[in-house]
């Protein structure tokens, strides 16, 4: 068969590659997750299990793609930081975005019943993805500062908003109460009206999730993960207590990454 006469159509592919020697951020965002959260009755302002599932799927992505140095997650978004020296798939943009989004989605769907044993999926979650290059450690860290500051701002607002709503206000009234208010006002509101000390809230909510590799554990023998068996949830850690052994080298932290301390104590992170 004259296959060749049609092969010219391959010439229409225009593959973009990511600039070498730049840190690459691949950020995933939940698609229509306001609706997804509502349909699956996520707790407000934060559903800890939903956040833990995000982190769990991200860990699997990091296990699959060794060139990912770290990940940062909040709400329904997850940023993966690809080593600036990585030549994975020739740094082809579409390839990297699609593989990471696909891997993340697969694990999110597959692990849903472990994290939500009593909730059936009403419709399936979808994530979009994008890739951004950062040419220096400074610009990359500023990206991470931007996301962690966003985590805090959104969480503080949402904590106030839902406290007001749970206390009887309508959504519109709560929105009015909070309009144009500063951080101090919101902290005071939480403390005086609801007895919430914002600074004492679960750091996962205030700081987001930072997923890193534990350098020492690398040498340990890897076991095949068991994807079929339902996992038991560990209430304290919000993660399945039977977490596959091969994920144990990946640590989930909820620390400040805006200040120097995190980076000074991990000099190998962005080397």
State the residues that interact with a copy of itself by CB under 8 A: 1-3, 6-17, 19-22, 28, 31, 60, 64, 93-95, 97-99, 101-110, 120-136, 139, 142-143, 145-146, 149-150, 152-153, 183, 224-225, 227-228
Binding site for GTP, residues?
A: 75-76
Query: Of the two residues 165 and 263, which places its CB atom closer to a copy of itself in the complex?
Result: 263
Binding site for Mg(2+), residues?
A: 29-30, 76
Supply the minimum distance, in Å, between the C-beta of residue 10 and a copy of itself.
8
Supply the minimum distance, in Å, between the C-beta of residue 19 and a copy of itself.
6
Supply the minimum distance, in Å, between the C-beta of residue 41 and a copy of itself.
15
Q: What residues pair up with 70 in beta bridges, in sequence order?
A: 81, 212
Distance CA 243, CA 111 (A): 11
Six token digits for residue 172: 């519109």
Cα torsion 206, 212, 214, 215: sign: negative
Query: Of the two residues 169 and 242, which places its CB atom closer to a copy of itself in the complex?
Result: 242
Distance CA 209, CA 41 (A): 22
Query: Of the two residues 183 and 237, which places its CB atom closer to a copy of itself in the complex?
Result: 183
Distances (CA, A) of 255 to 45, 73, 145, 207, 233: 20, 12, 12, 6, 23
Distance CA 211, CA 248 (A): 11
Supply the minimum distance, in Å, between the C-beta of residue 132 and a copy of itself.
5
Query: Of the two residues 169 and 270, which places its CB atom closer to a copy of itself in the complex?
Result: 270
Closest CA to 131 of 105, 94, 99, 83: 94
Distance CA 158, CA 152 (A): 10
CB hemisphere CA count around 93 (13 angstroms): 14
Supply the minimum distance, in Å, between the C-beta of residue 186 and a copy of itself.
11
Query: Of the two residues 121 and 237, which places its CB atom closer to a copy of itself in the complex?
Result: 121
């Amino acid at each position: 068969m004259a296959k060749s006469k049609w092969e010219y159509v391959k010439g229409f592919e225009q593959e973009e590659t990511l600039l070498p020697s730049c840190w690459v951020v691949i950020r995933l965002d939940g698609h229509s997750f306001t609706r997804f959260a509502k349909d699956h009755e996520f707790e407000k302002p934060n559903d800890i299990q939903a956040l833990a599932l995000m982190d769990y799927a991200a860990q699997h992505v990091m296990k699959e793609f060794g060139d990912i140095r770290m990940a940062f997650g909040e709400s329904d978004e997850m940023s993966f930081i690809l080593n600036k020296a990585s030549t994975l798939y020739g740094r082809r943009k579409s390839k990297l975005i699609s593989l990471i989004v696909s891997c993340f989605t697969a694990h999110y769907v597959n692990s849903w019943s472990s994290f939500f044993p009593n909730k059936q999926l009403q419709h399936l979650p979808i994530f979009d993805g994008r890739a951004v290059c950062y040419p220096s450690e400074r610009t990359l860290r500023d990206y991470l500062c931007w996301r962690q500051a966003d985590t805090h701002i959104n969480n503080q607002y949402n904590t106030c908003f839902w406290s007001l709503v749970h206390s009887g206000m309508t959504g519109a009234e709560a929105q009015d109460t909070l309009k144009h208010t500063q951080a101090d006002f919101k902290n005071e509101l939480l403390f005086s009206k609801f007895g919430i000390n914002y600074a004492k809230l679960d750091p996962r909510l205030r700081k987001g999730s930072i997923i890193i590799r534990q350098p020492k554990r690398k040498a340990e023998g890897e076991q095949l993960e068991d994807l079929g068996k339902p996992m038991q949830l560990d209430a304290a850690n919000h993660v399945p207590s039977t977490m596959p052994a091969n994920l144990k080298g990946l640590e989930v932290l909820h620390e400040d990454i805006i200040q120097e301390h995190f980076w000074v104590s991990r000099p190998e992170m962005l080397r």
